[in-house]
Structure 1
Amino acid sequence: MKHLEEKTLSSQQIFKGRYLKVEQDEVQGPDGKVYYREYILHPGAAMMIPILPNGNVVMVHQYRHAVKQVMLEFPAGKRDRGEDSLVTAKRELAEETGYLANEWKLLTEIHPVIGYSNEQIDLYLAMDLSRTEQRLDQGEFLEVIEVAPKELMTLIQQGKVTDVKTQIGAFWLDKILRGEWN
């Protein structure tokens, strides 16, 4: 696949926000011509699928300004600089939901928006949950709810859960609960 790669000739930061940066690269394409590529640098994130002893999953309702909607999602959060994604997952699960997990399993890593960002989200199964204190960040507003996995799949099928990381996590969970994947 080397014949499809582009060679970066120069790179410049064209925007720097609180945690996102936009880069513009000048590249030489496989055809030898020069092109410009703009993309968002993202610090990475972790998403958790917390499973309660009753088989339900812990989810959150959260307003997402970019789409101007309250979304139903699995809890997730961005990595702090130099932080291992499992540390991120444990921290964010406690902060957002008020749960701790004694058992963790990395399921996969995803790149949800490869056309314009390098964002990578590591998806974890969080099991053997216990309650702790919810500690939301300043300006973070969430509602924590329990959802049965079957109900979650119905909501996805009805177009009521459109967050891609949550959909991917739900499909992984469905395969695991059916015994099709370990």
Structure 2
Amino acid sequence: MSEHTTGQAPADAHLREDRLSREELLRGKFLHVARDTVRLPSGAEASREFVLHPGAVMIVPMLPNGRVVLERQYRYPMGEVMVEFPAGKLDAGEGSLNCARRELREETGYDAGQWAYAGRLAPTIAYSDEIIDIWFARNLTLGERQLDDGEFLDVIDMAHEELMAACRTGAVYDSKTLVAALWLEQVRTGAWSLDWSGQVTPGHERSR
């Protein structure tokens, strides 16, 4: 996580918080939690507890018939099966596109002939520095899945209209999938374009 002192417009000085020190609260197999002492714009000090995250990717796999590939997976913190687009966190030193290729193949069995970087989202800005890169994939070919030990999920596909209806009714409410559905809608209408070169937009890929 940055020091919160670089890349900030001078006009934001009345909002910015500067880190003074850091204490590690937890370093587990998956979660890394820290407590920072920060100086507020007023000059007073405060503490901020949050999850440090290596970053992640989400993939919107598009089938030739217009349907999209999704997953059904039990999410323990939620206590239920969630419908979501394929996603996963970056391994140490792994590039965003390489991660997207790996996660798509491992979780769904699909490889994609073309990739387009769409953008990024920060799903939990109040308590984590996680950033998720959004990738679109097409020209899919199906092979064998390579799920991690202890990973169980169903691969499904949905028509665009079906997905949008599920988002509207609350059947789909995973935050990253809602964002991806919005992006997909804009791409389908031609309001937003995609560059199928597979290149990350300059300035959008941060150091992990």
Sort the TM-score into its range (normalised by shorter chain). over 0.9
Is 1:138 matched up with 2:149?
A: yes
The normalised TM-score by structure 1 is 0.98
Matches within 5 A, 1:1-182: 1-182=12-193
Could you list the per-position Cα deviations for residues 78-131 of structure 1 after superposition, in whole angstroms to 9, with x for gaps in the alignment? 110111111110000000001000100010111100000000100000011001
Q: Where is the strand percentage greater, Structure 1 or Structure 2? A: 1
Aligned-partner SS, 1:4: coil
CA contact (8 A) 2:13 2:41 kept: no
- Cα RMSD for the two superposed structures: 0.7
Deviation at 1:7? Answer: 1.5
Q: Aligned letter for 1:131?
A: L
CA displacement at 1:8 relative to structure 2: 1.0
Distance 1:56 1:98 in 2: 16
2:14 alignment partner, SS class = helix
Distance apart, 1:20 and its partner CA: 1.6
- Unaligned runs of 5+ residues in structure 2 are 1-11, 194-208
Q: What's the % identity of the aligned pairs? A: 47
TM-score of the two chains, using structure 2 as the length reference: 0.86
Query: How many Å separate the matches in 2 of 1:69 and 1:151?
Result: 20
CA distance, structure 1, for counterparts of residue 57 and residue 109 of structure 2: 16
How many residues in Structure 1 have an aligned counterpart in Structure 2?
Answer: 182
